[in-house]
Structures are given as C-alpha cells and as structure tokens.
Structure 1
C-alpha cells in the first residue's frame, strides 16, 4: 500500500501474514520441530533479533498477526502480548527498572499501577514520586536515579491531558524512558510513540477486544526500547493463547467504527449532563470548556465512550451511589470498552495525592455503550431525578 493510504484501510489489512486469508487462522501450537541440529542452533541464535517460529511461548502465526496489527496501529517497531493489561504494565516497568531506581508516576494513573509501585516495586527497592496529571513542574521532580517517566494521557477518571512531546523532550534530556498507558486511545485515537514515548501499553481487553469477552494486554515499543522489553517479556514467560489473539485481531478491524459510535453518543450525554443543575462538572477532553481541550485537539484523533461527572457538593456519597443503583441500562462493572454501557463510583479523595478531592462532590464514571442514545439519556434522567 502507498503512504497515502488511509489509516483505516491499512488497519483492515494489517496482520495478514501474507497467508491469503482475510483473518489469519488460529494456530494452536507449543512445540516446533527442526530438520537438523544446525537448524535448531541457527534459529535459537537468530530469534534474539528476528521473529522466527521456534516455540509456542515465543509466538505463533496467530500472535504474530496480532502483533503486526498493533505495531501498525501504534506506528511502532515491535509489539509483545500479555495475558492482561496489568501484566503488560508490570513486565514493561520491570524491563526498565532495577533496585535503587526511581520512577515518576502521573497522579492520574490507573489504581492497580499505583498499587504495583507502592508494593511490588517498593519491595524491590524502587521508589516513586507522583507528578501533576498535566505534567507541570516535572523537571524539578527528576532525581539522579530516575529512570522511567510513566504517562497516562488522558488520565484515569478525570481525563487530564499533558503535552507529551514537551514532556518527552524533558525526559530525553535526562536519559529517561517514557512509558505510556494508551488504553484510552487504543492506538487509534492517540499515538504516544509518535509524540515521543518509547513504549505504548494498551489493555486489549477494552476497545480493541470490544466485546467484553477476552483478557489481554500489549506493549508496543520503538526500536530503541524493544530489546529490553523483549528480554523481560521472554524472561517472565509472557504469552497469550491463539484463540484470544484471533478474537483480538478480529476486534481491531471494527474498532474505528465502534469508537466513532461510542464517541458520538458520549458527547451527546456529556452535553446533556452539563445542562443538569445537579452536576458540578463533566470530565471529557472533547468538551470545549475542558482544561485539556486544546491539547486534545492537537494530539488526539477523536474521543471514546468514557466520561465522568461530579455531583454538586450538597449531595452525599450515599446519594451518589443511589443514582448508580437507580440506573437500569448501565451495568455496575469495573471494565469498559465493550459494546455495553457501564457505571462505577470513584474515590478520588482516597487515591489522588497531589489534589485535595475531599472538598469536591462525588464523581461517577460512565462508559457510554452502543445502546440507543435516547434510551441512555432517559435512564440517566430518571436516576438523577432520585436526588430530588
């Protein structure tokens, strides 16, 4: 395909492995046999720099096809697959950190990442410091032993934007690795590698899978970062099953269209919520009055189905949970990115360390699915009316 071919067209053809099949067939395999001892030795030597069939844990046609599609999606060099998004994060961090090192972590990071740094990394003698979600003042937080700058943009729950090219430039001056959680953008809406990151991590479970029926994570690296990531991935024995890889690759094909539908409905819901007197603030970078809107327009290619809203301070947490319980079409579930609408309460006061959320109203996160928008707004309307 020519360089002028649109991204959506390239994505439909990515990962075919030149087999002729529209979607690469499922390859369930563990043992690969060789004709001679010399073939075996040559492959074991070459597989450190080349992707060759040698053993199921090193990849099969199914996982190779998905990796190729994700590399195309993220505009990266090589990709690796993991059983969950959290596994992708944990192994990637351990690829670039050792005892005595220090990591800078966004205060808008996913809570399991915060816990991983607080417990597992701390037990290894690796310290961490939180920085503001917008990245301001990050230079002053870099220590002599800082090795990784961890980014989540837009941030969890509040969808804060930061200037990743500027932050990456600062990081590179101090020889830091920039690792980005790109689950919100899923490679389609946001491309951290093109903006200066070294590794982009995605929970395939979410929008790439798209149907709430598989668990998977992926890390896509640039050429500079992939040797260290490959060493850690193989060292920790990380791989995924062929059937899950097949389903994830199938999800890649329809993701752009699904994201467009999620975004259209989410924006309508966000605008409707802004009109409600019970709501103090709606968090969504695609809204013109959002603090990160300018950066969102500059660096993102759209939005998704995630929005959060803050109730007026006069409403208690119990009342907020009553709103959630009153919803009929929104399932109470921790994940998102599937076809269904979901809702969860949040605890920003208990998780964030740099902003005092105790003086703010209760925050509820929504994932807007593919149900009819009029039905979703009617459901939210009757649930918010319980506050009266």
Structure 2
C-alpha cells in the first residue's frame, strides 16, 4: 500500500466504533478493572494496553499507529510537545558520566537542554559540524551513547549525510536519533537511512493548523518499551484533543505538503532573483550545503527555508520590512496553513561550525496562500527595506 493511502486508513477501525469513520476522543484518567486478576494482567505490560489515562487511551493509540505508518516505524509514542519528544528520547539512553554528539545546526531549545539540563545531570555534549559525515567517528568517545541529528538543520538548512553517520554509529553500538520535523516524516524515511529513532514536533505539519502542541517518537519494537517506560516515568503524555486534531491533520498531510512545497519553491526561486537577497538557504537549491545528499535521500521539500539579505541592510531597515508585512506575520513555529517570517542571527548559536555571512537572515514559511499574493507582499516589503 502506498504511503498516501496508508495514512488515510492507519489508526482507525470503523468496525470497532459503530461504523464511525474517525476514532472518538477518550478523555480519561482512571481506568477501572472488573477483577483483581484483570488489573494485575493489565499491569504486567502497561506500555501496551489501556492501564491509566496518562499511559495511553484508544485515542492516543490510534494517533500513534498513524504516525508509525507515516514514519515506517514499528511503533510511535505521543507526548505533549516536540521538545518533550526530544528530551524524553535522549534521557531514556543517558546517565551521569555519559557523552552525546549533537549537530551544531539543531533546534536551539535542543541545544539549550543539552547545555543546562543534561550538563546538570553530568552528561557531556559535543557539537559537530552538520557536514561532518563519516568523520563523526573522530568525535566518538568510549562513553558516547547517542548521536542526535537534524536534517536539514534549523534556520540554516544544511543537509546531513545521515546514512554515513548511522553506519558509524552502528559500528560503535550508539543510538542515532533524528529530528525529522522538516520532512514531516513524509519526505525522508529515517529508518531506511539507518536511524534508530525519528522525532517530530507534530505541532508543525502533522497538526497543520497552528493549534496543537504535540510531539512524536517513532521507533522499533526493540526500543519501544524502554523509551515508553522512561517518558511515562517523566510524566509525559499527550492530550486527547491534540491527538484527535493531529489524527485529522495526518490524513491530509500529503495534499497539504504538496502545496507548501510548490509555494516554497516558487517563493525561493523568486527571492533568488531579487537584488536584496544575497543567498537562499533551501536544500533543493544547488548552492545549499548538502544539496547532493538532499537529492539522494529526500523525496521532496516542505515550505520552510531561509534567506540571507545583502550585508548593508540595518536592523532598522529589516524591522521596517517585517513590521509592515501583511501575509507574513512574525511568529515562532511553522507548519500551519499560514505563511510566517522571522529574523534570526545564527552566529551566537554555533559551537562547532562558523557562520561567515554578515547580512541579516530571515526564515520564511510558505503557507497555502496564493503564491502571487505572497510575492506581492514580499515585493512591498523589499520597498520598505530599501527605504530603511
């Protein structure tokens, strides 16, 4: 069955729900049992059945089954945010005295977690250049437990050679994880490329409507019980209404991603020709670091990319541009139906790689608006930018 078809049917069973197409929402904390024997039996394997509301409900199980189908995984775990998925997955495999490797282009809250919480627990983090490939072997220590990747990288969009990294990791029996949110688990199959765990902020494209806080951890049967038990012990769980909304979102994911991809490519191509733009950071473009890897490993692109403006533009000029945008409001997150744009400066967030560009940077999310309207809004924005 093709993925597009599978996503429409995974995680729902109309026969079990009176013929109702969509699985119902179960709001539950307490789950009762008719006998001591039934309670004890459920408690023998609480990660699989319905034992307590925080552990799972039929709603979360249905969503997790759909995510596993999307990612090509055996199982999936839903938690309350993308960051919770990242932190819970990492914590399940480290203890005091351990060491992990993290891409220098990771989502900044991931790095902040490593620099504060993990450091406080006595876990050392080494950041690596996202273009390192198989040379990551030189950074492995005897106590290295996890290699955490993100491809393309947040904000700057370097594409990593995931197969090269995971091959080294397997040789050293190290767990590999990827933040797979940009590809939405749809344009990149983490498991086909050697990853052990694929993480997403389902807040983004899976939810698709800017109204869900949710994270997912996709993984194999061999790791599921370990990670599920750990995140349960941390008190992590996903709200039933968010799981329900994300189930609805995942059904239309392929159709929505197609529009985001088309609009993103058209906007990036137009921006590349504008004199105000020094560089477009989009994996589908030849001058983006790792473009050849992108062509080899990815089946498409989402609507998120960045641009570097010419060096001479001041912060005041950039603010003038952004303050007047009509269809590109400023807001963190992305993956909803609407377009967004934020300014950023990657220099202060680099540990193992340098950022040479001097010009201001903007990250854009291409929503589902008419692309001509988006271009017109950007054109007016550049007029304000040039006026300073």
Q: 5+ residue gaps in structure 1?
A: none
Q: CA deviation at 1:290?
A: 2.7
Task: State the SS of the aligned residue for 1:197.
Answer: coil
Alpha carbons 1:263, 1:303 under 8 Å: kept: yes
- Partner Cα distance (1:231, 1:387) in 2: 52
Task: State the SS of the aligned residue for 2:252.
Answer: helix
1:275 corresponds in structure 2 to: 273
Residues 1-388 of structure 1: pairs in structure 2 closer than 5 A: 5-17=1-13, 19=16, 20-48=19-47, 51-136=48-133, 137-357=135-355, 359-388=357-386
Task: State the SS of the aligned residue for 2:176.
Answer: strand
CA-to-aligned-CA distance 1:205-237 (integer Å, 9 cap, x gap):
100000011111111112232232112111112
Alpha carbons 1:330, 1:341 under 8 Å: kept: yes
Task: State the SS of the aligned residue for 2:77.
Answer: strand
Q: CA deviation at 1:359?
A: 4.6
Q: CA deviation at 1:144?
A: 1.2
- Partner Cα distance (2:357, 2:248) in 1: 45
- Partner Cα distance (2:289, 2:95) in 1: 36
Task: State the SS of the aligned residue for 2:198.
Answer: strand
Q: CA deviation at 1:35?
A: 1.9
CA-to-aligned-CA distance 1:149-201 (integer Å, 9 cap, x gap):
00001110111111111110001111111011111111111121221111111
Q: CA deviation at 1:358?
A: 5.7
Q: CA deviation at 1:10?
A: 0.8
TM-score (norm 2): 0.95
CA-to-aligned-CA distance 1:71-102 (integer Å, 9 cap, x gap):
10111122111111111111111001111111
- Partner Cα distance (2:57, 2:363) in 1: 38
- Partner Cα distance (2:265, 2:70) in 1: 24
Extract structure 1 runs of 4+ deviating beyond 4 A: none
Task: State the SS of the aligned residue for 1:225.
Answer: helix
Q: 5+ residue gaps in structure 2?
A: none
Alpha carbons 1:201, 1:220 under 8 Å: kept: yes
Task: State the SS of the aligned residue for 1:194.
Answer: coil
Task: State the SS of the aligned residue for 1:195.
Answer: coil
CA RMSD, 1 decimal: 1.4
Task: State the SS of the aligned residue for 1:265.
Answer: helix
- Partner Cα distance (2:267, 2:126) in 1: 36
TM-score (norm 1): 0.95
Alpha carbons 1:15, 1:66 under 8 Å: kept: yes
- Partner Cα distance (2:169, 2:185) in 1: 22
109-118 vs 75-84, which moves further: 75-84
